[in-house]
Structure 1
Amino acid sequence: MSSAASTSLRQRRVFVVGVGMTKFMKPGGENSRDYPDMAKEAGQKALADAQIPYSAVEQACIGYVYGDSTCGQRAIYHSLGLTGIPIINVNNNCSTGSTALFVAQQLIRGGMADCVLALGFEKMEKGSVAVKFPDRTNPTDKHVDVLINKYGLSAHPLAPQMFGCAGKEHMEKYGTKVEHFAKIGWKNHKHSVNNPYSQFQDEYSLEEIMKSKKIFDFLTVLQCCPTSDGAAAAIVSSEEFVKKYGLQAKAVEIVAQEMMTDLPSTFEEKSIIKMVGFDMSKEAARRCYEKSGLTPDDVDVIELHDCFSANELLTYEALGLCPEGQGGTLVDRGDNTYGGKWVINPSGGLISKGHPLGATGDNTYRPHKFLSFSKGHPLGATGLAQCVELCWHLRGEAGKRQVPGAKVALQHNLGLGGAVVVTLYRMGFPEAARKGNSS
């Protein structure tokens, strides 16, 4: 390939032209559904939003964590169509949904396709997640070693220990208070009241957040994400496809998107903050800002990975919203909610909406035999649900949650083990969008 052609392909614009998701539900409840049904709803909603037939989709990237091989095929064969297209199954722990989106984005930007479906789903088991492969090395064993060497390990669930100890380290290093983390839980539950897709829509006082059941150290149950079943989908396309189908009014551009995995500092610096993904989040964000020419000051609305309140505060700093150590100050200023500098997790985040990684259940460490996570958000769906929420805000379709005048959106989705995907969005054809909204 010539250098000119290569440059041309690298500069191809990528757009999200259709989105859809299900309500996130408690696993095993009376309204519980199987993954093909959830995938069907999310996929059909995304296609209807884009106003295109499934036959226009050239490839599909399907994300899930807990399921047999080729669940992606089963999820869409009999609900969307049997068209023979390539279907790529993706598993990247809690960042699975955004990894599916990342693969779809690369296919479009690289000129390999003009329309790709990114779909994520998760059907969780009731109670604790069982060990599936106890006869082999757990992929996060080296992460756990960092925790053991600094703070030791207790009989509490492992995931809240990891993120709780990261918060503890932040308090020791910077003087952050327990109240700062509780305020984040309070804020996200308050946001969820207006989100019909959220598993929980209850508002709590700060005192109720702090006095709810303790999960680990300062982390209470209302600062931890709940187990959820759910699905979400996005139709990703090229500029040529947007124009062919006349989708300019709703096309949200992926301005920059970066995936990072763990760096040497994750394991070598004896820091729990770095072990849970701080440096890879920081570097992915830096690359997005550099590639897009945008800065945190340009961003209006953010959906970030708040599996625990501690991680939301850490991520403020990793994304460059404030200097390291100043996350608590940002919280105190109210710069993470309506009326502040940014609206962060207007959906209610994982804490209210759900995300299968989380808060309760037996998650005791056993060498080569521990449970990676206990209960929480629909892993395969989470990253795509964040994308759906942000597209709605940029289009002005978020209802009571709408961030006024939102023009630039930022997404952060993290998975231990590890991977993070950071994405910047804005309307691709703002004049067409304004015309469409006024008509």
Structure 2
Amino acid sequence: MSQKVVVAGVGMIPFKKPGQSETYPVMGAQAVRLALADAKVGYESVQQAYASYIFGDSTGGQRVLYDVGMTGIPVINVHNNCASGSSALFLANQAIASGMVDVALAFGFEQMTPGALGDMYTDRPSPLGLFQEQCASVVPAEVPPALRLFGVAAQEHMKRFGTPLESFAKIRAKASRHAANNPYAVFRNIVTTEDVMNDKVMWPGVMTRLMACPPTCGAAAAVLCSEAYAKKHGLDSRVWIAGQALTTDGPETFNSGDMRHLAGFGMSRAAANKVYEQAGIGAEDVNVVELHDCFAQNELLTYEALGLCPEGGAAKFIDDGDNTYGGKYVVNPSGGLLSKGHPIGATGLAQCTELVQQLRGQAEKRQVEGARIAVQHNVGIGGAAVVTMYRT
């Protein structure tokens, strides 16, 4: 038997540019305290904790929690690239659904430095080496590693379906309009499609600088509990997890010749299909989505991976306004990674926070009217994709 899992509390701090934030123990502890306060439970009630980060030494999660409380509970550190936050959430959800614990904490944090991401250890094979080999023949040597992977995926879509570069620029402009209403976003200035198109070219015909998310510092957290525990202790049980799946790359990533899979298209689609089956709810019934827009290119690919529009239909989906207020879905009301920021370990928990607030009707100027079903998508190359459905 699987216990129904409730998201009892969420919390996050405003995201900031590298060099402008507190240290990771301060940020992490702040987010945890906010989630505990929102859930109206004390730290002593937490039975397991899952910490998410990728830039930092081992046992960083313990260091954060030692400033909150020292109760001797298991603390597991999760390192799954950009999907780390949702991977921590996945583990906490499993622990409660299985009946192992009644209350679990998932939290993420990142203290980042400026500049493009690269390998931390250069004296050994990179986990992303196989991915880079796949795209090496078509990518200019000066293009940073992460941009290469999402750029070749975008090129694939452009070649297959005639998708114009302007579609990605429209996504970035939409993100800025949404983030203007989010006090937690690192970038709240509105940019136009033309601004994005005219920004510094990172890869001719494929990407401008504004189409990439910025390195960011921040933290977020969520307190999960069983429905029975929530009812017994009078906790807010309105939002619960209706389905969740974590997938890794399948053979199509390296064998299909379809470069979209290098950016996680296949594993994202597989995770989404599993969640829709678990929940008995299809994409057509979803109201609000927080998805992994580390590049505007990946947001477009993910519309199709999640089934928000037909394969090859993303450009029309954007032009019809079906990714924003007044359309079929509101995608990334927070401003997403592009404008809200991407403190990697915190991203999945920040997405969770936004969607829980939306379903509770607490999102203020960002509120999606009548939101009852929400989907979260968080992907890490190398690889992991986590899709989560929340309901009220």
2:325 paired with 1:338: yes
Q: Secondary structure at the match of 2:76?
A: strand
For residue 111 of structure 2, what is the aligned residue in structure 1? 123
Aligned runs of 1:274-353 on 2, under 5 Å?
274-353=261-340
Q: Equivalents in 1 of 2:194, 2:234: separation in Å?
A: 51
Letter paired with 2:340: K
Q: Residue 76 of structure 2 aligns with which residue?
A: 88
CA distance in 2, matches of 1:419, 1:164: 19
Of 364, 381, 390, the residue aligned with 1:416 is 381
Question: C-alpha separation between the residues in 2 aligned to 1:292 and 1:144?
Answer: 36
Match of residue 363 from structure 1: none
2-structure distance, mates of 1:114, 1:131: 38
Moved more, 164-173 or 97-106: 164-173
Alpha carbons 1:104, 1:117 under 8 Å: kept: yes
Q: Aligned residue for 2:159?
A: 172
User: Could you tell me how far 1:95 is from its partner in structure 2?
Assistant: 0.3
Q: Distance in 1 between matches of 2:185 and 2:329?
A: 21
Specify the alignment match of 1:247 in structure 2: 235
Q: Secondary structure at the match of 1:422?
A: strand
User: Shift of the alpha carbon at 1:240?
Assistant: 1.6
| 1:108 counterpart SS class | helix
Task: Give the Å deviation of 1:252.
Answer: 1.2
Contact 1:161 1:216 (8 Å CA) reproduced: no
- State the partner residue of 1:140: 128
After superposition, what is the alpha-carbon deviation per residue over 1:289-327, rounded to whole angstroms, capped at 9, x for unaligned?
Answer: 011110111100000000001100000000011111111
Task: Return the alpha-carbon distance in structure 2 between the equivalents of residues 278 and 132 of structure 1.
Answer: 25
Q: Secondary structure at the match of 1:270?
A: coil
1:313-354 per-residue CA deviation (whole Å, 9 max, x = no partner) reads 000000011111111110011000000000000000000011
Aligned to 2:85: 97
AA partner of residue 388 (structure 1)? T
Distance 1:83 1:345, change over 3 A: same
Give the AA of the match of 1:295.
G
Structure 1 contact 260–280 (Cα < 8 Å) conserved: yes
The farther-off stretch of 320-329 and 333-342 is 320-329
What displacement does 1:55 show?
A: 0.4
Q: Give the equivalent residue in structure 1 for 2:47.
A: 58
* Partner residue of 1:35 out of 17, 24, 31: 24
Pairing partner for 2:12 from 21, 33, 38: 21
Task: Trace 1:375-414 onto structure 2 (pairs within 5 A).
Answer: 378-414=343-379
Q: State the alpha-carbon separation in 1 of the partners of residues 239 and 124 from structure 2.
A: 43
1:418 partner amino acid: G
Deviations 1:357-413 (A, max 9, x none): xxxxxxxxxxxxxxxxxxxxx110000000000000000000100000100000000
Which residue of structure 2 lines up, in the alignment, with residue 109 of structure 1? 97
Local SS of the residue matching 1:267: helix
The answer to whether the 8 Å contact 2:116/2:144 transfers is: no
Q: How does the TM-score come out when normalised to structure 1?
A: 0.87
CA distance, structure 2, for counterparts of residue 215 and residue 114 of structure 1: 48
Q: Distance in 2 between matches of 1:152 and 1:221?
A: 17
Contact 2:119 2:126 in 1 (8 A): no
Distance in 2, Cα, partners of 1:330 & 1:394: 24
User: CA 1:273–1:159 in structure 2 vs 1: closer, same or farther (change >3 Å)?
Assistant: same
- Cα RMSD between the aligned structures? 1.1
For residue 197 of structure 1, give the secondary structure of its aligned residue in structure 2: coil
Amino acid of the structure 1 residue aligned with 2:280: G
Cα contact 1:146–1:271 (8 A) shared by 2: no
Distance in 1 (alpha carbons) for counterparts of 2:136 and 2:113: 28
- Whether the 8 Å CA contact 1:337–1:343 is kept in 2: the answer is yes
2:66 corresponds to: 77
What TM-score results when the alignment is normalised by the length of structure 2? 0.98
Taking the aligned partners of 1:129 and 1:347, their CA distance within structure 2 comes to 23
1:121–1:381 contact (8 Å) kept in structure 2? yes
C-alpha distance in 2 between matches for 1:181 and 1:38: 32
Letter in 2 for 1:245: H
Question: CA shift at 1:152, angstroms?
Answer: 3.9
When Rg is computed on C-alpha atoms for both structures, the one with the higher figure is 1
Partner of 2:142, secondary structure, is: coil
Structure 1, unpaired ranges of 5+: 1-7, 356-377, 428-439
Displacement, 1:129?
4.6
- Verify: 1:269 aligned to 2:260, yes or no: no
Task: Give the match for residue 221 of structure 2.
Answer: 233
Letter in 2 for 1:347: S
Change (3 A) 1:130 1:311: closer
Q: Is 1:60–1:116's contact at 8 Å kept on the other side of the alignment?
A: yes
Deviations 1:406-429 (A, max 9, x none): 0000000000000000000012xx
Within 2, Cα distance between the matches of 1:310 and 1:298? 25
After superposing on structure 2, the runs of 4+ consecutive aligned residues of structure 1 that deviate more than 6 Å are: none
How many residues are aligned here? 391
Contact persistence 2:88–2:106 (CA under 8 A)? yes
Aligned partner of 1:434 in structure 2 is none
SS of residue matched to 2:391:
strand
Matches of 2:100 and 2:203, distance apart in 1: 47
- Check the 8 A contact 1:242/1:251 in 2, yes or no: no
